[in-house]
Amino acid sequence: MRRRTFLATSLAAATFPQFAGAQAAAYDPTPQMVSVKARYAPGELIVLPRSHYLYLVTAPGRAMRYGVGVGRAGLEFTGKANIAVKKEWPTWRPTDEMIEREPETYKRFIGNTDAQPGGPGNPLGARALYLFQNGRDTFYRIHGTTEPGSIGRSVSNGCIRMLNAHVVDLYERVPIGTTVTVL
């Protein structure tokens, strides 16, 4: 077992003890109610990138669990943030860093300020929750995706992806100001 795997597994077991000692189950992105430690406040979002799950704490010791896709190595977000903006069918434009990293992929955005309109073909999907720290946009989002096969994987440019139906459900459940902790 690699050190990284050991640490991630240990953190998950300490945070969500209902999984400690359990056999490794097949990954299931389907939203479902699960037990969590009671120290998390109702309404708080907790993301465990290594297990590819997001938890919306609904009551002390209870949470709705959703499957997510997260940032690939070196691009992941960690820490605390707040949802400061929520958008339905958001527009999208790659960040300057994304364009610099992958100019061939994003060449249509080089030298202009174009943005892709919202809609079914937009990479942000049906909804987006914008993460801010200290009143400043982190440029990380919790959003839908046009790539459902990316859920359960670490492949994004840092954002937290959800299936469109799941992000619509989450969008309706969380208000502006919701605390998001990515461990």
DSSP 24-78: -PPP--S-EEEE--TTSPTT-EEEETTTTEEEEEEETTEEEEEE-BEEPTT----
In the set 45, 54, 159, 160, the catalytic residue is 159
The vertex-54 CA angle with 5 and 49, nearest 5°, equals 30
pLDDT of res. 74: 85
- 40 catalytic? Reply is no
In the set 141, 143, 161, 166, the catalytic residue is 143
Domains of the chain: 3-182 (2.40.440.10)
- Give the sign of the dihedral formed by CA 108, CA 114, CA 118, CA 119: negative
State the Cα–Cα distance between residues 139 and 49, nearest whole angstrom. 17
Largest interatomic CA distance in the chain:
53
The vertex-17 CA angle with 14 and 19, nearest 5°, equals 115
pLDDT of res. 13: 56
Q: Which two tokens stand for residue 34?
A: 């699960």
pLDDT of res. 28: 95
State the Cα–Cα distance between residues 159 and 162, nearest whole angstrom. 10
Q: Output the tens digit of pLDDT for each of the chain's 183 residues.
A: 444 444 455 555 555 555 444 456 799 999 999 999 999 999 999 999 999 999 999 999 999 999 999 999 888 889 999 999 999 999 999 999 999 999 999 999 999 999 999 999 999 999 999 999 999 999 999 999 999 999 999 999 999 999 999 999 999 999 999 999 999
The vertex-155 CA angle with 37 and 89, nearest 5°, equals 85
- 143 catalytic? Reply is yes
For strands 127-133 and 136-143, give the pairing.
Answer: antiparallel
